[in-house]
Structure 1
Amino acid sequence: MKLEQSLLEALHEGLVIPAHPLALTEDRKLDERHQRALTRYYMASGAGGVAVGVHSTQFEIRDPEHQLYEPVLRLAAEEIERAKLDRPFLKVAGVCGPTEQALTEVNIALNLGYDTVLLSMGGLQGLSEEEHLDRVRSIASKVPVIGFYLQPSVGGRVFSYEFWRQFAEIDNIVAIKMAPFNRYQSIDVVRAVCYSSRRNEIALYTGNDDNIINDLLTTYRFTVEGEVVEKQVVGGLLGHWAVWTQKAVELLEEIKLARRSQQIDINWLSRNIEVTDTNAAFFDAANHFAGCIPGIHEVLRRQGLLQGTWCLNPHEVLSPRQFEEIDRMYECYPHLHDDDFVRDNLEVWLAP
């Protein structure tokens, strides 16, 4: 399977792709009404797609006692189909685990009409780099793949530059999400793509929540066999963009205008810090990201898009002082939230 041309062009133009959270009731059962409302919110916000079954959707959805992987993917797919949008909208399924499990999840996603998969390489510490590449080739033979460089502090690992050189040469890799939270490792990925024969076929997306705006404004430039090759990070696939999404869409459009003008205002550096500060609160950077999912839930709860901050893992809760830190974000950066937009549309999104 290949990615439809209109979706491929949109992916390369640059999209806001929120990582879709999981709506639960107080007894930790799937809250279908609010799950559907979230998907409707992302479409109404102008997002260019959603990623479902990823970290923000909680990896526990795959556990036998929950068996929620197919249901949450299905709910999002139904809402997207129902909306009949007149613009490209990318359905991304999170896929993880050993090759056999990953292929099972690919088949579920394809049966539900998903366009591509975000392939996690987390939790597979025993695999060599070559074994990882074999796994990627197996998945990419079935479905377009968005690669994912995940930071080690939340289950990822460091990969070599040579790994990414070989990764970029795999047919049907359509994008790479860079989220190592490390400039050196991010450069490894971009340089590897620039040196690849497929450099024009791979879109780069930021997942570096600590550097979102700077990533999106930076042109990477390398000399490859005497030729200057340039590459930009065109969009973001982010848990951070699961909240205040309408403002994230506005932000990316502003950044696209700035990139075309070739005149980057110095105030963008300050705005980058503002966004990073909000992310530190939402994702609980002070406590090694222990409260990252409840932090996203808390913002959505305040807006009425979720009923609570509950996670499938009952021990996954807001960290001490995280609630107050989110208060501080609202006080310091009122121009970054989209509460008015949500308030005006919430009743429609929650309707049957």
Structure 2
Amino acid sequence: MARRRDEIPEEVARLIAAGTVIPAHPLALDAERRLDERRQRALTRYYLDAGAGGLAVGVHTTQFAIREVGLYEPVLALAAETAAAWTDRPVAMVAGLAGRTEQACREAEIAAGLGYHAGLLSLAAFEGASTAEMLAHCQAVAERIPLFGFYLQTAVGGVRLPVEFWRGFAAIDNVVGIKMAPFNRYQTLDVIRGVAEAGAAGRVALYTGNDDHIVADLLTPFPVRDNRGGESELRIVGGLLGHWCVWTSSAVEIHRRCRAAVAAGSIEPELLALDARVTECNAAVFDVANDFAGVICGVHEILRRQGLLAGTWCLDPDEALGPGQAERIDDIYARHGDLADDAFVAANLERWLA
């Protein structure tokens, strides 16, 4: 049980710090919208065999409504148990934490008790709160589990978080990482600047959650001044992404290529072009044309086509693919099918569903 960052197993702590692929784990339901444990386990096995270094469970892609139907703890427990039984290699387990302070602290206690290494803290419940109020909330939750910060885009319920917030958040000793997912260049830079000004660049790992800019985030150097006036260069080292819960073996290879290019100091034009291709795929999967209305179902549709899910059902019966979204997914398969991992899934699906 890791309640402090120095209690995280050393190999997991190194994995988080160095940067890895952490898919945001979807929720497998049957036609009656009940948890389909067989397919939920299959998803976990798929991500691990695809080479993911971690799993994020109980997050937006898992559907925040799992809390309202009593599935939060069962879903977290199922992922942790499946991962432990399926692989001996280190896996960074990250639990989504939501709600006001009492709820988020309770979820942190549950996650820590299940062996999760960190909590990804959503501040969606703090619309209109002051920076001081939000930082006090973060500090309270950080007393129970190491934290990943989470800048969630406003289109799906996130709140605007200024650089002052991120400076204060990064100064919390039990913070190990930040997922930046505002889908906004200016706000992404606010996070990076806040980390630098807190003098926390060596402790807080930066992860992209900007599903619209994944490759470029992993390739870009960010020159900043720290709180002592010194200049440094920060890097986004990994991704904690909803987009990476589909075509995950391809995502692992993209992450590897980006990290290798950064290490070599040589970025080929093909990699920059890949950024645009991945973003175009994300536009279809996340239903950008309909203001993200079909974001969860778009993920489900890819997994359904591959056989990992039986359908696109969500806890909310009103959630469905957006108008024209299925056709746009057809289109990205036709034009960017080399980024899919359907053959990998087909070769292993029976074993994962066993």
Q: CA deviation at 1:84?
A: 3.6
Matched ranges for 1:63-82 at <5 A: 63=68, 66-82=69-85
Measured against aligned partners, the alpha-carbon deviations of 1:62-97 in whole angstroms (never above 9, x if no partner) come to: 11xx21111111110110111242x32111110000
Confirm or deny: 8 A CA contact 2:109 2:145 kept in the other structure: no
Aligned to 1:54: 59
Amino acid at match of 1:88: P
Confirm or deny: 8 A CA contact 2:298 2:321 kept in the other structure: yes
SS at match of 1:333: helix
Report the Cα distance in structure 1 between the residues aligned to 2:153 and 2:169, rounded to whole angstroms: 17
Confirm or deny: 8 A CA contact 1:98 1:124 kept in the other structure: yes
Report the Cα distance in structure 1 between the residues aligned to 2:238 and 2:103, rounded to whole angstroms: 29
Amino acid at match of 2:25: H
Report the Cα distance in structure 2 between the residues aligned to 1:350 and 1:337, rounded to whole angstroms: 20
Matched ranges for 1:97-176 at <5 A: 97-176=99-178
SS at match of 2:48: helix
Confirm or deny: 8 A CA contact 2:112 2:144 kept in the other structure: no
Paired-residue identity, %: 53
Residue of structure 2 aligned with 1:11, choices 5, 8, 16: 16
The ranges of structure 1 where at least 4 consecutive aligned residues each deviate by more than 4 angstroms after the TM superposition are none
Confirm or deny: 8 A CA contact 1:194 1:230 kept in the other structure: no
Report the Cα distance in structure 1 between the residues aligned to 2:99 and 2:107, rounded to whole angstroms: 9
When the two structures are superposed, what TM-score results if normalisation uses the length of structure 2?
Answer: 0.97
CA RMSD between the two structures: 1.0
SS at match of 1:29: coil
Report the Cα distance in structure 2 between the residues aligned to 1:331 and 1:125, rounded to whole angstroms: 41
Residue of structure 2 aligned with 1:197, choices 196, 199, 207: 199
Matched, 1:37 2:37: no
When the two structures are superposed, what TM-score results if normalisation uses the length of structure 1?
Answer: 0.97
Report the Cα distance in structure 2 between the residues aligned to 1:263 and 1:276, rounded to whole angstroms: 22
Report the Cα distance in structure 2 between the residues aligned to 1:208 and 1:111, rounded to whole angstroms: 30
Report the Cα distance in structure 1 between the residues aligned to 2:199 and 2:18, rounded to whole angstroms: 20
Measured against aligned partners, the alpha-carbon deviations of 1:203-238 in whole angstroms (never above 9, x if no partner) come to: 000001111000000111123344221110000000
Confirm or deny: 8 A CA contact 1:294 1:310 kept in the other structure: yes
Report the Cα distance in structure 2 between the residues aligned to 1:222 and 1:126, rounded to whole angstroms: 29
Structure 1 unaligned regions, length at least 5: none
SS at match of 2:28: coil
Q: CA deviation at 1:127?
A: 2.0
Confirm or deny: 8 A CA contact 2:48 2:87 kept in the other structure: no
Aligned to 1:322: 325
Confirm or deny: 8 A CA contact 2:177 2:205 kept in the other structure: yes
Q: How many residues align?
A: 348
